[in-house]
Structure 1
């Protein structure tokens, strides 16, 4: 022990330098890891600005058509997702990584007059909607979640304004190609006609809309018209129904498949892809 103490006393400076080196090295490593995680998260957020990365759809049933001995093939039954179930998306384990979502309900409407008449896809969705989380995952979670297309697709090039009022049933956002064909500008009014086949009778309903904004994305949105989901449901008499849900999820710590599986557990009749 005397020899050890004597040896240590002679090497105090070297030992001190070694200890300081270890401390500095540990501090640098911790800082680099912190910076790495921070950069990864920020990059993830930036990428999520370019749209949804998860699509939720209803599980479909395939029905065989024909008679005994005669097979006519099969058809897929159209199913919907209940809008009243959408709040459950924010109750999964990775709920804080769900940056936003937007439901979509499609229908074909007629627009224009005479030779200029054409069929256009009308899309009902959320733009800027407050969702009540009926049963939060944790008591510390907020019971209100604001979401919509404006959240998951801020990259849309919009001439004019976004639809901000979630109860607005007269405003629309028109795809740039539709606007060109019909000569529509921001602030213009126009009529759409929805034709429903009701027991072999064709019922036509006409609605007047205002162009709130003109959308340009270089995608399918350029050929569509967007309105608040409530209006689209009223037009086609499909209350509480949506076709699909686009979800924007930040997936640094887990694969997007994990989000899909957890959402499927909360809403058993849907599937994610």
Structure 2
């Protein structure tokens, strides 16, 4: 069993097509098919069902795939550790971030990191905090930036707090309370646009309204801050966003809240960070010390 065979299996599993998998691996299709067939003979089981219309994993293939991925990831880690011992950072850096991260200038940090470590393959995933925590736990994400209610700590990962910030209400320009300063009770009768119930991005607002002793209606649930901004701009309701993030949208108006919800931004990482992840964590640490 060879690592290249495992890469071929993974490529076919992801593309569901031998031709596209061969193109991705930069080999001719016959060579890729030959290597997978040789692996199947060694395992004594077929990994793929092939028809003229589709390719899909067999039950044996489904069982084999996670272990194959682990082997390839372990090989990559081994290479990166050897390179790091010689003073070179290489390998993979998978970064995850909530769309509303403000404690760090993430685009600038990624640019600086790529300049310092050009041999590292960087990927970025934008998702909610809950999904990013799970991604780090499972090893799909190396480091992630989260936003959580102030008394909530991510579990099963390493991490540190980056800083707290208040939320503001955002409204369309013609809203009757635009640019005012009010308390949450004054907004309780307004329709709200917020993230789905149970999501970390929603929790801080729900907790703040509960602490104020009032209930609100959230008829519009969204999965992204950008979609929230679009709906708010159409006058469909009130949104809740971190103050530093909301200032990026000059077409909206803000409502300052005397009893504003707060959130804490976190940086988390795997319990055994790779050299590439360690270098990124050091860069972020240096930046936050400088206040950038």
Same fold (TM over 0.5): no
Larger Rg: 1
More helix, by proportion: 2
Q: TM-score, structure 2 length as denominator?
A: 0.25
Does 1 or 2 have the higher relative contact order (CA < 8 Å, sep 6+)? 1
Q: TM-score, structure 1 length as denominator?
A: 0.26
